Chains A and B, each alone.
Chain A
Amino acid sequence: SQQGEEDPQALSIQEGENATMNCSYKTSINNLQWYRQNSGRGLVHLILIRSNEREKHSGRLRVTLDTSKKSSSLLITASRAADTASYFCATGPQGGGYQKVTFGTGTKLQVIP
């Protein structure tokens, strides 16, 4: 079963606009990661945020984490056509141990040139 649920399931925006995707999860986590996947290919790691962090930036990406609400958001600013992809959140279990990450269902982002 999926741990996370992304919202929206699909998002279509114009190039230059910002894109915001949300992720909700069910159990306590050690960290949360965001991945990008182009056309059913391998996943590319974007950013990891630990449970004791609230916000993290990487280039045009901004991730927030609210552990009290069990939710995270990914903001892509000044979107480009190349950002068109599916985006997944993935959670690492609290307590560490083996490194199973559990993926959400994904948001399909389309950036229109």
Chain B
Amino acid sequence: ETGVTQSPTHLIKTRGQQVTLRCSSQSGHNTVSWYQQALGQGPQFIFQYYREEENGRGNFPPRFSGLQFPNYSSELNVNALELDDSALYLCASSLAGSRSNTEAFFGQGTRLTVV
């Protein structure tokens, strides 16, 4: 167990709908990163939040947005869902500081299917 929980575990949505995925960080962590993993591929970085502000973004369109709350939990919102958005969505929490990258702890993911 990593202490990172994601909800829901599975979700089916219709094309064009909107979805919100949630992530609770490990206690004491101030950074959350979101990844999209298509079947048979490695995770692709969506964005990262540090102390409630977006702190880096991958090559994803603006319909992918996020929030981080004062307790460092986070949401990933996707608008206007497309069939290609079907994937496993992973969040990872870590403790950012002045040093270099440190270990990230991943949740079990949310499996999103868009039909």
A interface residues (Cβ-Cβ under 8 A, vs B): 1-2, 4, 30-31, 33, 35, 40-45, 48, 50, 88, 92-93, 96-106
Q: Report Cα–Cα, A102/B102, bound state, in Å.
A: 13
Q: Report Cα–Cα, A43/B89, bound state, in Å.
A: 11
Contact B42 A99 (CB under 8 A): no
Contact A92 B101 (CB under 8 A): yes
Q: Total interface residues on B, using CB and 8 Å?
A: 35
Contact A41 B109 (CB under 8 A): yes
Q: Report Cα–Cα, A44/B106, bound state, in Å.
A: 7
Known contacts: A42-B109, A105-B41. The answer to whether A98 contacts B50 by CB under 8 A is yes
Q: Report Cα–Cα, A88/B44, bound state, in Å.
A: 12
20 contacts between A and B (CB under 8 A): A1-B59, A2-B41, A30-B100, A40-B111, A41-B108, A42-B108, A42-B109, A43-B92, A44-B2, A88-B42, A92-B101, A96-B101, A97-B56, A98-B56, A98-B96, A100-B56, A101-B33, A103-B42, A105-B42, A106-B41
